[in-house]
Amino acid sequence: MTAAITLTRSDILGRPSFWKVSELGIRQFEHGYPPELLDTILVKALRMRTTAAKTNLNLKYLRDAHHHIPEVAQLMHDPVRLARLSELAGVPLEPYPVDFLGSMITFMGPEDGTVDWHGDSVPVTELVALSADDVAGGELAIYRGELDEGLARLASEGKVPDDRVVRVTHRVGHSIFGQLMGVLHRTAPMTSGTRVTLNLNLRSATQPHIDDQRLSHLAAESPDFGWLDPYVSDVRGRQLPSLRATTASAREDSDA
C-alpha cells in the first residue's frame, strides 16, 4: 500500500511555476466524509452508469453529478470541506463553476478503460474513491517534469521513463487532492477490478482567472454550447476583474 504523499508543485514540475493557484502539488489524506453519504452517492452513480459518456482521453464518466445526485451537491458545497481544502492548498478555493465539470463520477477498469495522459483544464481537483474492488493497476501516475516536454516524449517515443513517474494508489476513505493543471498525469492501466471515483473540481476564489480551460475543449465535451452564456458571465463578472487586479498589482510592484 502506498503511503500518504505530499509533493509541492515545484517538486513535480522540477522548476518554479508562475501559472498556479498556490504551491499545492499533490496530497493524499484521510477525508473523514460520512460513509453513508458516499455509499448513497455510489449506489446512485451505479444506477446511472449506463448514461456515462466516454471522452477522447478514454475516460468514462457521469458529468454534472451534483445535478443528478443531491448528496454530491451537499459534499461539493460543504463549508467545512471547502475550508479544509483551502487550508491544505494555502489559498481560498471554490467549486469549479462550469456545471458539467464541477463534479463528475468516473468508472475505470479493464472494460471501461483508464484515463490517458493529460493535464487538467481545471486548476484543482479532489478525487474521492467511492469504491475500489480487486483493483490491479489503476494508480494515479504523475510525470515529474514539464507537461509539454512529457507530451512530446509520448508522441515521439510512446512512453515516458518509469523513473520519472510517481504513483499514488487510490484508497477508499482517502482523497487525492492536487493541482493537476499543467501537470502531466494519467491513470495506470487496470488489469482487474473496478474503481468508481467522485471528482470534485475547484479553483481559486481570489484568482478565478487562473485556469487552463479552452473553449474548444468545452465545445468538444459539450457540443450543445449550453455552457456558453454562464461561462461568458463568469469571465465578465469574476475572471476579468481578477485578471485586472493581478495585472494592476504587478504594475504597482514594478513601479515601486
Ligand X SMILES: O=C(O)CCC(=O)C(=O)O
Q: Which residues bind ligand X (CB under 6 A)?
A: 59, 106, 115, 120, 127, 140, 185, 187, 197, 199
What Å distances lie between residue 236 and 208, 229, 242, CA to CA? 11, 11, 10
For CA atoms 169, 190, 146, 22, the dihedral sign is negative
Question: Whole-angstrom Cα distance, residue 208 to residue 242?
Answer: 7
Q: For Fe ion, which residue of 112, 120, 139, 211 counts as binding (CB under 5 A)?
A: 120
Provide the grid cell at 67.
445535478
For CA atoms 240, 241, 243, 244, the dihedral sign is positive
- Per-residue binder mask for Fe ion (CB under 5 A), 76-95, x = binder: --------------------
The CB-of-167 to Fe ion minimum distance in angstroms stands at 14
Q: Check binding of 126 to Fe ion (CB under 5 A).
A: no
The CB-of-15 to ligand X minimum distance in angstroms stands at 22
The CB-of-175 to Fe ion minimum distance in angstroms stands at 14
Q: Are 188 and 142 in contact (CB under 8 A)?
A: no
What Å distances lie between residue 103 and 24, 244, 248, CA to CA? 20, 28, 33
Q: Check binding of 139 to Fe ion (CB under 5 A).
A: no
Q: Which of ligand X, Fe ion, none does residue 197 bind to, with CB < 5 to 8 Å depending on kind?
A: ligand X
Q: Which of Fe ion, ligand X, none does residue 63 bind to, with CB < 5 to 8 Å depending on kind?
A: none
* CB of 112 or CB of 120, closer to Fe ion: 120
Question: Whole-angstrom Cα distance, residue 175 to residue 30?
Answer: 6
The CB-of-232 to Fe ion minimum distance in angstroms stands at 25
Applying CB under 5 A, which residues contact Fe ion?
Answer: 120
